[in-house]
Amino acid sequence: MQVYLNGQFTSRDKASVSIIDRGFVFGDGIYEVIRVVDGRMFRLEAHLVRMDRGLKGLGIPFTAQQRNELDGVMETLIEENNLQKGEGTIYLQITRGAALPRTHAFPPSDTPPTVMIMASPFVPDTEILEKGGHAITVPDIRWSRCDLKTVNLLPNVMAAQEEKKRNAGGVLMIRDGFVTEGYKNNVFAVFDGTLQTYPDSPYILSGITRDVVFEIAKEEGIPLKMAPIEEKEILKADEVMLTGTITDIQPVVSVDGHRIGMGRPGPVARLLQKGLRHRMDSE
Ligand code: PDD
């Protein structure tokens, strides 16, 4: 595998970062995951806009020139890793760079950020997309800036491990009695034909796939309600689904053992799956 690290293309096993990198020491950085379909990056611009917002939010200096170079780097990685056909993902991470002494406050502003990008093949989980998953709820123990896609992912890691341990298929995180999102995806529910999701807020990441869902809903005339869903209300939904770059649109057929709707993927989820697939294949 060929990767990109700080201006160089190199093989993954040769690429290494400093032990004083602030990404390693403080989790001080942001990331993006971009879907690649037949060599094309899906909604690249939206990911880069969110990346810029994250860098600004954390105060990591990154010039327009540095940003403009990323497109070409990602194109090269797609070619070098033979992703011109089929499914893949790009992982992009920018940290505040390597600095000593270890101080929590920012290092001098001329400290170069660490930029790492890799491209890998991706295999969608077709079984769960087809049959739906049995989700669990966990407390949302994250901070109050979940709108920034930072590499500080320990609560997400713990939630994912709980899912694995309990052999579940999806996690809904609960803050103050409301479903916020998943650990790597957003949550939607359908009530009487209306699609509902948590509004844009510091408590969720505004997903690129979530925006695609809004687009399809508009096109299909599905009403949309932007309001938090109570944990006990979601059990009464006709449909529940998770959306994300590596999740696509995954139906949820039960939550904490309570059946959702008819206990199988519903018509809205199927419509959205079709709309997303069409866009990924044609854009
Ligand atoms: N996760 N919410 C959280 C907490 C996420 O980490 C993600 C993405 C999403 C969905 O966003 P998008 O549709 O832009 O992928 C929502 C990435 C894929 C990950 O951590 O692997």
Please choose, from the candidates 205, 148, 208, 165, the residue with its C-alpha nearest in 3D space to the C-alpha of residue 182. 205
Q: 2-121 and 126-282 share one CATH topology? A: no
> Does 209 contact ligand 1 (Cβ within 6 A)?
yes
CA dihedral 120, 85, 31, 8 (to 10 degrees): 70
Helices 44-58, 64-80: inter-axial angle, 10-degree rounding:
130
Whole-angstrom Cα distance, residue 117 to residue 210?
Answer: 24
Ligand 1 site, residue 185, Cβ cutoff 6 A: yes
For atom 8 of ligand 1, which residue has the closest CA? 184
pLDDT, position 272:
98
Residue from 56, 131, 149, 218 carrying the catalytic annotation: 149
Residue 123 has pLDDT above 90, yes or no: yes
Predicted TM-score of the model (pTM) = 0.97
Each domain of the chain, given as residue ranges in start order, spans 2-121, 126-282
**Nearest-angstrom CA–CA distance, 144 and 99:** 26
Rounded percentage of the chain residues whose pLDDT exceeds 70: 100
- What number is the average pLDDT over the span 193-216? 98
Distance 21 CA to ligand 1 centre (A): 24
Cβ–Cβ under 8 Å, residues 198 and 180: yes
Question: Is 164 noted as a catalytic residue in this protein?
Answer: no
- Looking at domain 126-282, which CATH architecture does it have? Alpha-Beta Barrel (3.20)
Express each pLDDT in 43-74 by its tens digit.
Answer: 999 999 999 999 999 999 999 999 999 999 99
Q: How many of the other CB atoms lie within 10 Å of CB of 207?
A: 23
Cβ–Cβ under 8 Å, residues 273 and 141: no
Residue to substitute in 120, 180, 245 for testing ligand 1 pocket (most ligand atoms within 8 angstroms of CB): 245
Write down the pLDDT at residue 1: 84
**8 alpha carbon to ligand 1 midpoint, in Å?**
27
Q: Give 222-273 as a 3 state SS string.
A: CCEEECCEEHHHHCCCCEEEEEECCCEEEEEEEECCEECCCCCCCHHHHHHH
Ligand 1 center to residue 215 CA distance, Å? 18
Residue with tokens 């770059």: 245
In ligand 1, which atom is closest to the CA atom of 31? 20
Task: List, for residues 10-48, the tens digit of each pLDDT value.
Answer: 999 999 999 999 999 999 999 999 999 999 999 999 999
Residue 54 Cβ < 6 Å to ligand 1: no
The fold for domain 2-121 equals D-amino Acid Aminotransferase; Chain A, domain 1 (3.30.470)
The answer to whether the CB of 208 is under 6 A from ligand 1 is yes
